[in-house]
Structure 1
Amino acid sequence: MYQFPTNFLWGAAASAPQTEGHALLNGKSPSTWDKWYELAPANFQPNQGPAITSNVYECYADDIKRMQAIGLTSYRTSISWTRLLPDGKNINEEAVSYYRDYFKALNKAHIHPIINLFHFDMPWWLMEKGGWETRESVNAFAFYAQTAFDLFGDLVPQWTTFNEPIVHVECGYLFGYHYPAVVDLKKAVQVGYHTLMAHIAAVEAFKTGGFKGSIGIILNISPTYARSESAADQRAKDAADLLNSKSFLDPCVLGHFPPALIALLSEHQLMPLTEDGDAARIAANPVDFLGLNYYQPRRVQAPTQPKSPAQMPADFYSPYDWPAKKMNHYRGWEIYPEALYDMAVMIKDEYHNIPWYVAENGMGVADEDRFMNAAGMIEDDYRITFMQDHLRQLHRGIAAGSNCFGYHTWTFVDCWSWLNGYTNRYGFYRMALNAPYERSLKKSGLWFKTVSENNGF
Structure 2
Amino acid sequence: MVSDAMGVEEHRNWGDVDYTKLLNGQAFPPNFMWGVATASHQIEGGNTNNWTRFEPTSKSGQSSGIACDHWNRKEQDLELIQNLNVTHYRFSLEWSRIEPTMGEWDEDAIAWYSDLVDRLLERGIQPMVTLHHFTNPLWWEDLGAFEEESNIIYWIRFSSKMFEVLSDRVEWWCTINEPAVYASMGYILGEFPPGERSFKKTRRVSLNLMRAHAKCYRTLKSMANGSTTKIGLVKNINIFDPYRRWNPLHRFQANLLDGMFNR
Q: Do they superpose with TM above 0.5? A: yes
2:166 matched residue in structure 1: 152
- Corresponding residue of 2:57: 40
Distance in 2 of aligned mates of 1:230 and 1:12: 40
Q: Secondary structure of 1:128's match? A: helix
**8 Å contact from structure 1 (residues 88, 144) kept in 2:** no
Q: Percent same amino acid at aligned positions?
A: 26
* Amino acid aligned to 2:154: A
Asked if residue 109 in structure 1 is aligned to residue 123 in structure 2, the reply is yes
Q: After TM superposition, which residue ranges in structure 1, 4 or more long, deviate above 6 angstroms?
A: none
Distance, in Å, in 1 between the alignment partners of 2:174 and 2:236 is 14
Which amino acid is 2:35 matched to? G
The structure in which a higher percent of residues are helix is: 2
Q: State the one-letter code of the partner of 2:145.
A: G
Query: How many angstroms apart in 1 are the aligned matches of 2:198 and 2:212?
Result: 21
Partner of residue 44, structure 2: 20
Structure 1 partner of 2:10: none
Unpaired runs of at least 5, structure 2: 1-20
Instruction: Give the corresponding residue for 1:240.
Output: 257
Offset at residue 116 of structure 1 (A): 0.5
2:214 alignment counterpart: 200
Match status 1:220 vs 2:244: no
Q: Which residue of 2 aligns with 1:11?
A: 35
* Greater shift in the superposed pair: 11-20 or 58-67: 58-67
User: For 1:166, which of 180, 186, 193 is the aligned residue?
Assistant: 180
Match of 1:190 among 199, 204, 212: 204
Q: In the alignment, is the contact (CA less than 8 A) between 2:99 and 2:137 conserved in 1?
A: no
Q: How does 1:275-290 map to 2 (within 5 A)?
A: none
- 2:102, 2:171 → 1: CA distance? 25
1:210-359 correspondence runs (5 A): 210=224, 211=226, 212-226=228-242, 227-246=244-263
Structure 1 gap ranges (5+): 24-29, 247-457
Could you list the per-position Cα deviations for residues 255-298 of structure 1 after superposition, in whole angstroms to 9, with x for gaps in the alignment?
Answer: xxxxxxxxxxxxxxxxxxxxxxxxxxxxxxxxxxxxxxxxxxxx
Give the C-alpha shift of residue 137 in structure 1. 2.4
| Correspondent of 2:100 among 86, 95, 104 | 86
Contact 1:170–1:188 (CA<8 Å) still a contact in 2?
Answer: yes
Moved more, 106-115 or 64-73: 64-73
Alignment partners' CA distance in 2, 1:192 and 1:134: 11
**SS of residue matched to 2:128:** strand
CA root-mean-square deviation: 1.7
User: Does the 8 Å contact 1:172/1:178 carry over to 2?
Assistant: yes
Per-residue deviation at 1:238?
A: 2.4
User: Does the 8 A contact of 1:10 with 1:74 survive in 2?
Assistant: yes
> Is the 1:132–1:194 Cα contact (8 Å) retained in structure 2?
yes
Alignment map for 1:49-68 (pairs within 5 Å)? 49-68=63-82
1:125 alignment counterpart: 139
Partner deviation per Cα, 1:343-400 (whole Å, 9 max, x = no partner)? xxxxxxxxxxxxxxxxxxxxxxxxxxxxxxxxxxxxxxxxxxxxxxxxxxxxxxxxxx
Q: Distance in 1 between matches of 2:176 and 2:104?
A: 22
The residue identity in structure 2 corresponding to 1:70 is L
Give the superposition deviation at 1:189.
Answer: 0.7
Q: Find the aligned partners of 2:58 and 2:179 in 1 and give their Cα distance.
A: 25
Cα offset, 1:193, TM superposition: 0.9
Tell me the equivalent position of 1:394.
none
Aligned to 1:405: none
Partner Cα distance (2:256, 2:58) in 1? 36
Match of 1:9, SS state, is: coil
- Does the aligned pair in 1 maintain the 2:43–2:70 contact within 8 Å? yes
Contact 2:127 2:170 in 1 (8 A): yes
The alpha-carbon deviation at position 43 of structure 1 amounts to 4.0
Shift of 1:93: 0.4
Deviation of 1:103 after TM superposition, in Å, equals: 0.7
1:7 Cα deviation after fit? 1.6
Write the letter of the residue equivalent to 1:31: N
Give 1:67 shift: 1.6
1:95 is aligned, of 99, 103, 109, to 109
1:178 offset after TM fit, Å? 1.3
Deviation at 1:230, TM superposition (A): 4.7
Structure 1 residue 68, shift from structure 2 partner: 1.7
1:31 is matched with which residue? 49
CA apart distance, 1:106: 0.5
Per-residue displacement from partner, 1:232-257 (whole Å, max 9, x unpaired)? 443333211211221xxxxxxxxxxx
Count of aligned positions: 236
Question: What does residue range 422-441 of structure 1 map to in structure 2 within 5 Å?
Answer: none
